[in-house]
Amino acid sequence: MLKKLKTSTAPGISGIGYILIKQASAKTQVAFRNFASRCLETGKIPLKWKVGQTYPIPKDVDWQFNLSNIRPIALLETFRKCVTKVYTTRLERIIRVNNILEGSNFVGLIGSLTESLIHILSMIIEEAKEKNKELWIMLQDMKKVFDSVSLDSLKLALQRIKILVLEQSFILDLFDKRQTRIITALGLIEAITAGDRIEQGEIISPLI
């Protein structure tokens, strides 16, 4: 899938690491593409790609040492992000062209924004006001939505839309037994193995 990839065609990735990938020699970029292709051919990623760092940013100055008052930012290996971005873009294109997702289950696709749904709701409210109609609106809080999807459920979903077995393995391996090290004022803590859930900071997560 990635053998004809030009390393510079990975939109949405930035930073020093990505710049170094773009400016690498032709021989090195061939090695990058071959390595990425090998990951897809085996459905596995390197163990080092499973270890990330988390930087907890307080939502307020006085966060009272309450974890619900911080916003964790996941820092992942740059080349992993590059490979995952290209893979996600191609998978998204296949899903969009073949109309695999239905109804309002499309916000992970390029060009599909929640703005259109908000606009529709706004128009419904305006019409109810103008015509003095009774209107009931229910909002569902999707907090922790990434944490609510187990890998077993994800596998069943991938099987349902007929994703190839090796592709399923690659996607699941991105999240399986991943580890993180928290950045603190005293340095990095020991690696923690994350639970059986989808990682919010992963590029492919919104589409998944």
**In-domain check, residue 117:** no
Write the CA distances from 175 to 50, 89, 107, 113, 198, integer angstroms. 8, 18, 21, 25, 6
Q: Does 205 score more than 70 pLDDT?
A: yes
**In-domain check, residue 188:** yes
pLDDT: is 3 or 40 the higher one?
A: 40
**Closest-CA residue to 67 (of 56, 78, 77, 79):** 56
DSSP 207: T
Residue-level length of the chain: 208
**In-domain check, residue 3:** no
**In-domain check, residue 123:** no
**In-domain check, residue 25:** yes
Q: Estimate the share of the chain in helix, then strand, then coil, as percent rounded to the nearest 5.
A: 45, 10, 45
Where in the sequence is the domain holding 188, given as residue range(s)? 16-104+143-193
* Mean pLDDT to the nearest integer, 41-66: 88
pLDDT: is 106 or 167 the higher one?
A: 167
Q: Does 60 score more than 50 pLDDT?
A: yes
Domain count, the chain: 1
Residue-wise pLDDT tens digits, 11-50: 445 566 667 777 888 898 899 999 999 999 999 999 999 9
C-alpha to C-alpha distance for 72 and 55, rounded to whole angstroms: 6
**In-domain check, residue 203:** no
Residue-wise pLDDT tens digits, 146-170: 778 899 999 999 999 999 999 999 9
**In-domain check, residue 160:** yes
**In-domain check, residue 179:** yes
